[in-house]
Amino acid sequence: MKTAIVILNWNGKKLLEQFLPSVVNFSSQEAEVYVADNASTDDSIEFIKQNYPTVKIVKNSINGGYAKGYNDALQHIDADIYCLVNSDIEVTKNWLTPILTTFKTAPNTAIIQPKILDFKDKSKFEYAGAGGGFIDLYGYPYCRGRIFNHLETDNGQFNDTTDIFWASGACLFIRSEVYHQLQGFDEDYFAHQEEIDLCWRAKNEGFDIKYVGDSTVYHVGGATLEAINPKKTYLNFRNSLLNVVKNVPRKWFLFVIFSRLILDGIAGLKFLAELKPKHTLAILKAHISFYANFFKFLGKRKKLQKKVDYNKHTSVVWQCYALGKTAFKELK
């Protein structure tokens, strides 16, 4: 299986200096390594050319964010499997083998995520993906090993291979045929949660998504946009709402939309109580953008099949904040 590892870069020379070596050293025998550059203005490209001549470079004409950046770059990359890797990911020896084996033995599997641990504390799961993602009743994403901001210690509890609902865009493997069948990422998201939408659409088409715990990578997280940045709050809240409009099955749709307006309002008040007014404002802006895009995304919804009932658990918000359940195994 011809595999392409594609690292999206924007002015990330320091990250490439730190993390590109592990990707090249532990991947070059099984895959070709690419850097998709989003019109960087630093000397990232020169650094790659001088130090890693085997790494192929795809230059995008603009910085279209994560979604458009990959959509533009992958048009120029020929492979059976795309591995989309953040520039702040450290990979490990033999990380590709169990994932490529799973693709070979499970032909209906379209997307795979490895175990994602925290680069800064390698005993902990990392926020963006952890042990594989799910969606709760109200459209809020959570992971095995990460319930909101509560991160579990890796004690081998997720060393399995199992079906999940969504795979993290921090390190996401996808069959190229499926990627193009789905027409790639929705560029209206720009960044954050576009991978959840992609996975949701893949499930609606009948494909499987898996987590393979025998493969491990370490993620810095927030290297390009820190968690404390209100822009990240804005994108996460807005794009989560867009996911609801675009993908939630009809029987839940109105209930979820109404509930999210209330729950997001509570989240805004919580930020105010924590003296974080910029994040409250970010949620308000997210809702304004959501209303402005509502009918556009309603139109996209009509083009999708509605086969997937997504909530394996009830409300992760209720279970976490009301019942104090912060580990995946505690959820009902």
Interval 11-68: pLDDT, tens = 999 999 999 999 999 997 899 999 999 999 999 999 999 999 999 999 999 998 899 9
Mean pLDDT, the chain, rounded, equals 92
Q: How far apart are CA 97 and CA 37, in angstroms?
A: 27
Render pLDDT for 144-155 as a digit per residue (tens, 0 to 9): 999 988 999 999
More confident residue, 304 or 36: 36
CA 145, 242, 238: angle at the middle one, nearest 5?
Answer: 75
* Residue 146 confidence (pLDDT): 96
Render pLDDT for 167-217 as a digit per residue (tens, 0 to 9): 999 999 999 999 999 999 999 998 889 999 999 999 989 999 999 999 999
* Residue 223 confidence (pLDDT): 47
pTM reported for the whole predicted model:
0.91
Q: What domains, with CATH codes, occur in the chain?
A: 3-219 (3.90.550.10), 230-330 (no CATH)
Task: Look at 87-91, 151-155, 218-222 and tell me which has the smallest mean pLDDT.
Answer: 218-222
